[in-house]
Structure 1
Amino acid sequence: MDLGQLENVVAGVDPGGPGLAVGVYADGKLLHWAARGVSTVEFGVPIDSRTRFDIASISKQFTAACLLLLAGEGKLSLTDDVRSHLPDLRLQTPVTLGQCLRHTGGLPEWYGVQGLTGIPLQGLDEEHLMAVLSGVRRTAFEPGTAFSYSNTGYVLASAVVRRVSGQSLADFARDRLFGPLGMDDTAFRDDAAVPMPRMAFGYDRDGRRADTQESVVGDGGVVTSVSDLAPWFGFLADGRVLGAGLREALLETAPLADGTPSPYAHGIYHLSVGELQGYGHAGGMHGYVANLLYLPGPGLGVAVLTNHSGLDPVGLSTRLARGLTGQEPQPSPALAGPGAGEAARTALLGHWHDPASGSTLTLTPDEEGMIRVTDVSDAVVALGSDGRWHDLAATRRAWLALEGERLIQGDTLSIRPPVSFVRCEGPGEDPAPEGAWLSDEYGVLAVVREGVLRVGLTLRAPVVPAPAGAWSAGPFTLRLDTDGDLLISGFGLRESRFTAQPPGTAPLGIPPGLV
C-alpha cells in the first residue's frame, strides 16, 4: 500500500488549525492512519487516531442497525406504521419504519421546522423535539413514491427504540452494538453539555467555533475516532460479531412504488468508486464533516473525520480509495475558454422552478462565458468538456445541464438524486401579501406586515418577489394557494400549509416543545 497516498490527503491542511484524521481499514483492522491539524485551536492539541469527532449523518447506519436488531427479535417490523409505536404522532398518512429509514416517507425536515418555530437548538433533546413533531399531519408526497432526505425519520426511529426496548438509543447502542464490537470510544452523544475525553472542538469555514449544540440523536449524534471505527468496518465486511443477517438487512435496498431503483438502504447507501462498487455515507453538522466508505471487492475501508466545515471528506476519501485500489484519479472536467459555448449559455439563462420542492434558480451572465446561479447560495458555473456547467469551486462537484426542456442540477458525489427544474416567469411586481396565517401542525403564526415575515420565536426576514409567482424570505419560499392559505417551502420543507386568519391576528403563545 502506498502510504504516500495517505499523506497526500492531509498535506494541504494547516497544522495549526482545525483539521482531520484519516483511516484505512482491512479485515476489521486499522491498517494505517494520518492526521493533520489540532482538535482545539485554543490549546493547540494535535489530532491523532483516538481524537473523537461528531460524525453527524454517518450515525444513521448505527440507528438503523439498532432498529434492525429489534426487528430480528420480533419486537417490531420495518413494515410497521410508525404511529403504532409512537401513538402521539398525528400523521394523517401511514408511514412505515422502513420508509423512515430510507427517506421515502415524505416527512418534513425537522431542521426546517426548527427554523420556523425558533425553538433553540442548544439543549434540544428528543423529548422536546418529539413534542414538536407530534403535531406533523401531512407528508410531502405519498409515502414510498419518492426519495426526499429527511432527518426526521431517524429522530422517530430513535424514539421507537426507546419505546420498544425501554432504553434510550444511546444506552441500547452501547449495550447491543458498540459494546459487543469493542467500540468503547464510540457513543451517541445525547447530552451535548457533558464533556467527552479527546473530543475535537468544531470550527466553521472561517475558523470560528461551531460545536454541536443539540442533544437530539438518531439522525446524527455519534462521536467516534478513526481507530474505534475498525470493528465496524469488520462488520461491514462480513457481519462479524453482530451477524451476517443484520449486515444483509442493513444493506438491503428497495425500489420506489413505481419500480424506480433507489441506492439508499438503511442509513447507508450503495455507490461506486470508479469501477468498484461499495457503500458508505457522509455527514455534516456544525463544525464537523465526515465520510465513511467500504469497498467489498478489495476489502478496503476509508474514513475521513474532520472538525473543519471547510474541508471535503467525500472528495478526499473517494480520491484516496481510487489511489489505494490502483485507479487513476477522477479527472475534473476541463473548462471551456472564454467565449466558448455561447449558444449553450444563452439556452440556460433565465428563471427555473422545481415544482416538487418549490425551490427556484435564476441564471444570469457572469463575465465572458460564465453563468451566475442565484438561489440560497450564490455560485458561478462554467462549461466543462463533458457538456455540463460546473461550479468553479475547486472540486467542481456541483453541475447543471440542460436535458430537453428541463434544467438538471446535481452533484457528482451526493446521495441526493439530481433536481429537475422547469422554466418559469421571473419575479413579479406584486408586493408581499399582508396578513396572518396559522400552522395547525406547529402551532405558530406566520405574519407578514410591511414587507417583513415573522414566524415563531426568531424568524424575521424581508419578503421580496421571487420567480414562479412566489416570494422569498430568507431561506424560505412563500406562495399563496387559491384558498388564500400560505405555503412555505425551503430548508427541507415542501409547501408547509399555514391557514389564513382574521385581519389583525398577532403572534402570541409559545410553540409546542419549548417548555
Structure 2
Amino acid sequence: MSVSQRSGSLGSTEAALLDACISEAASPDGPGVAVAVLHKGRPVYQRARGLASLAHRLPLTDRSVVRIASQSKQFTVLMILMLESEGKLSLEDDIRDHFPWLPDWGSRVTLGHLASNTSGIRDILDSMIMAGIPITAPSSRSAAKAIVARQQGLNFEPLTDLLYSNSNFLLLSELIEKVTGKSFNEALEHYITGPLGMSDTQLMVRDDEIRPRLADHHRRGPQGQWLKSAWGIAIGGEGGLVSTLADMIIWQQNLREPKVGTAEMIERMGKPYVTINGVASPYGLGLVNTCHKGAPLVGHGGWIAGSRSESFRNLSEDISIIVLSNHDDFSSFGLARDMLDIVLGRSPGGLLSPEGIASLETRYGFWRSDDGGRVFGLEESGGLPAIVGSMGVSALEEPEVGKFHARGSLPAFVFWLEADGSIRTETFGRSRRYRRVEASRQTGSDPSGTYSSTESGLTASIGNVDGRWSMRVTSPFGTARLSLDACDADMYLARPSETDIHDQWHIAPWVLPWLYSVRIRSDAIVLNSDRGRDVVLTRLP
C-alpha cells in the first residue's frame, strides 16, 4: 500500500523494505548514505547508515556534512532568478555583456542558455581533462575561467541541442559575485540559507577545507579498498556546495512551499525552458524533468569527489526523496527511484523486458555512427546489458517496448535495434545510425605524428612505445600521457597510461572506460567525448 493511501504514514513493511534497499548502498562499517522520504512536505522516513569517518568509527548522521555536487546548481539558479526579480540582471542578457573577456562565439549566449544547459559551451571538467590538468591537483578559479575563455568554438549553436556543461554554472556563479558584490557564500546566506536556517549548507571550494562535522569522502581503490577522495580544483556554484540531510529536507520543503524565492520562480526552474526541434528539453533552470515508470519527477542529482546525491519530487503524489552519501560506489539515481517504487507500493527494478535483454545481449561490442564521429559500447554489467561512453557505464531502461536509453537524468539518446543489424538513435527528433565495429577492424591505422589546435591550445604527439600507441597531450595548463587503444581502423580510445596504476585517479577521479575518442584523419585528429564534440587538432609538418 502506498504512502498516500496510508494518509501520509509509512507502514512497517515499507520501512523494512527501504532499510533493505539502502543497506545495498552502504554497509555498517563502510562509508554511508543518508536518505529521507517526505510526503506533503513532512518527513515520513529518515535513515543514515554507515560511517562518516572510517578511521575514527564515527557514524554518519542527518547532521553529517557531505558534498551535494551538482545539486548545487539549483541554489545557483534560484539566486539568479531572485537577482532578476530585483532588476539586477535578466535571463535574456548576453553573458559577454557581463564578462567582456569571454570570446565572441559568433552566436549570442544568454544567461537563460547557461541555466538551461543549451549554450553549447564546452564542459570545464571535460576541457580540463583534454588540456592535461589533473583534477586531483590544485588549480584556481582563474585557471578554470581561462580555459573557458580559450574556447573559440561551441559544441553546437545555442538552443539547438542540450548538453550538460559545468561551464555554464561556473559563469553564473561568477556573475552572482559580480552583481551582488558578495562572495558566493555571502550571497547564498543572504538570499537562501540564512532565511531558511540551513546553516550547514555552504560553498566548500576545495576538499582540503576543514568544516564542523564534515564527513570523509571515499572512492574504491585499485584493489577494491576504500580510499579517501579529494579533488584539487576550485569548485563554485556548479557543484561545490556541502550540506546535511537535515538541511536538504528544509530545501525540499522550500521547493514545495517557498519561503525564499517565489512559487513562480520554483515553477520556472522545474519547467522545460526551451523547445528543441519541437521537443521540450528535460532540463529546466537548474532542475531536471525525468519520468520513472510513468511517474513524472522534478529534481537534480550530483557526483563529485567521492560522493553521490539525488533529490526529486513526485508532483502527482507529493512525495520527495533525498539521497546523500560520502562515497561514490553506487547509483544514487537508481537508489532514489528504487525507494520511490517501494513508497508507491511497487517492486523496484524491472526496467528491461526479458525480450529486450535477449535482443541487447546479441549486440555487445563497439558501435560507431555513420557520420564517423561518435562511438559507444554495449556490454554486460551486473548481469544485465549496459551502455558505455566516455562518462562511464550506465544501466539501461526500456521506456517503450524495444526502445532503450541510459538510466540517468539526461540520457544522450533513445535507441532501438534495426532489422538490418544497425542501431538507430534519436535525440530531439533527430536520428543517427550506428553500425557495429567488427573485430577485424579493431587494429587501427598508423596515427603517429604531431597535431595542434590554436583554438583549444592543445598539442598532441602520438608515437609507438614498446608496441603500444601512446599520446602526449600538452596545453598551457598541463600535460597528460595517455594510451591509445584501437576501436576501429581510424579511431582510438584515449585512456590514462597503464604505467602507473593511479594514473586514472590522477587525471580523472572516477573510473572511466575512456577519456575521449581520437579519430585519425590524413590532416588532423578529432577528439570527441560525451560532453565535448569535434575538437580538431591539425597535423603539423
RMSD of Structure 2 on Structure 1 (CA): 3.6
Partner deviation per Cα, 1:381-433 (whole Å, 9 max, x = no partner): 999995578999xxxxx9974146652679xxxx9999955126653655333
Inter-partner Cα distance in structure 1 for 2:398 and 2:176: 49
Aligned residue in 1 for 2:207: 192
Shift of 1:29: 4.7
Aligned residue in 2 for 1:101: 115
Distance 1:168 1:390, change over 3 A: closer
Maintained 8 Å contact 1:82/1:96? yes
Maintained 8 Å contact 2:424/2:431? yes
Maintained 8 Å contact 1:28/1:232? no
Inter-partner Cα distance in structure 1 for 2:397 and 2:113: 38
Maintained 8 Å contact 2:62/2:246? yes
Distance 1:24 1:459, change over 3 A: same
TM-score (norm 2): 0.79
The aligned runs of 1:419-430 (5 Å cut-off) are 421-423=433-435, 426=438, 427=441
Inter-partner Cα distance in structure 1 for 2:66 and 2:34: 9
AA matched with 1:267: G
Q: 1:73 aligns with which of 86, 89, 101?
A: 86
The aligned runs of 1:196-207 (5 Å cut-off) are 196-205=211-220, 206=224, 207=226
Maintained 8 Å contact 2:398/2:405? yes
Distance 1:132 1:399, change over 3 A: closer
Aligned residue in 2 for 1:291: 310
Q: Post-superposition, which runs of at least 4 consecutive aligned residues in structure 1 deviate over 6 A?
A: 369-374, 378-385, 388-392, 415-419
Task: Indicate yes or no: 2:364 matched with 1:352.
Answer: no
Distance 1:382 1:247, change over 3 A: closer
Inter-partner Cα distance in structure 2 for 1:279 and 1:389: 21
Q: 1:461 aligns with which of 474, 482, 489?
A: 482
Task: Indicate yes or no: 2:252 matched with 1:233.
Answer: yes
Inter-partner Cα distance in structure 2 for 1:252 and 1:379: 26
Aligned residue in 2 for 1:255: 274
Inter-partner Cα distance in structure 2 for 1:268 and 1:188: 19
Aligned residue in 2 for 1:216: 235
Shift of 1:268: 0.8
Shift of 1:318: 1.4
Distance 1:434 1:272, change over 3 A: closer
Distance 1:234 1:247, change over 3 A: same
Inter-partner Cα distance in structure 2 for 1:62 and 1:425: 43
Task: Indicate yes or no: 2:457 matched with 1:439.
Answer: no
Shift of 1:330: 4.6
Maintained 8 Å contact 1:356/1:494? no
Q: 1:278 aligns with which of 294, 297, 303?
A: 297
Aligned residue in 1 for 2:494: 473
The aligned runs of 1:341-420 (5 Å cut-off) are 348=363, 351-354=366-369, 358-361=373-376, 387=402, 401-403=416-418, 406-407=422-423
Task: Indicate yes or no: 2:187 matched with 1:139.
Answer: no
Aligned residue in 2 for 1:496: 535
Aligned residue in 1 for 2:58: 45
Partner deviation per Cα, 1:244-290 (whole Å, 9 max, x = no partner): 23212222313334221112111111223444433111111121011
Is the partner of 2:139 in helix, strand or coil? coil
Is the partner of 1:458 in helix, strand or coil? strand
- Aligned-pair identity (%): 26
Task: Indicate yes or no: 2:190 matched with 1:175.
Answer: yes
Partner deviation per Cα, 1:61-82 (whole Å, 9 max, x = no partner): 1111111111111211112221
Is the partner of 1:111 in helix, strand or coil? helix
AA matched with 2:284: A
Inter-partner Cα distance in structure 2 for 1:28 and 1:345: 43
Is the partner of 2:87 in helix, strand or coil? coil
AA matched with 1:101: A
Partner deviation per Cα, 1:106-151 (whole Å, 9 max, x = no partner): 1212112111222343333322210221111101111111111111
Distance 1:335 1:94, change over 3 A: same
Distance 1:478 1:227, change over 3 A: same
Is the partner of 1:130 in helix, strand or coil? helix
Aligned residue in 2 for 1:164: 179
AA matched with 1:358: G
Structure 1 residue runs of 5 or longer lacking an equivalent are 393-397, 504-515
Distance 1:233 1:378, change over 3 A: closer
AA matched with 2:339: L
Maintained 8 Å contact 1:29/1:231? no
Shift of 1:370: 9.2
Partner deviation per Cα, 1:429-481 (whole Å, 9 max, x = no partner): 55333332223234231122333211123321233433373233222212245
Maintained 8 Å contact 1:181/1:241? yes
Distance 1:455 1:276, change over 3 A: same
AA matched with 1:470: M
Structure 2 residue runs of 5 or longer lacking an equivalent are 1-9, 408-412, 496-514
Inter-partner Cα distance in structure 1 for 2:47 and 2:163: 35
Number of residue pairs the alignment of both structures matches? 485
Shift of 1:231: 2.1
AA matched with 1:444: L
Inter-partner Cα distance in structure 2 for 1:204 and 1:416: 35
Distance 1:208 1:143, change over 3 A: same
Maintained 8 Å contact 1:149/1:416? no
Shifted more, 371-380 versus 280-289: the winner is 371-380
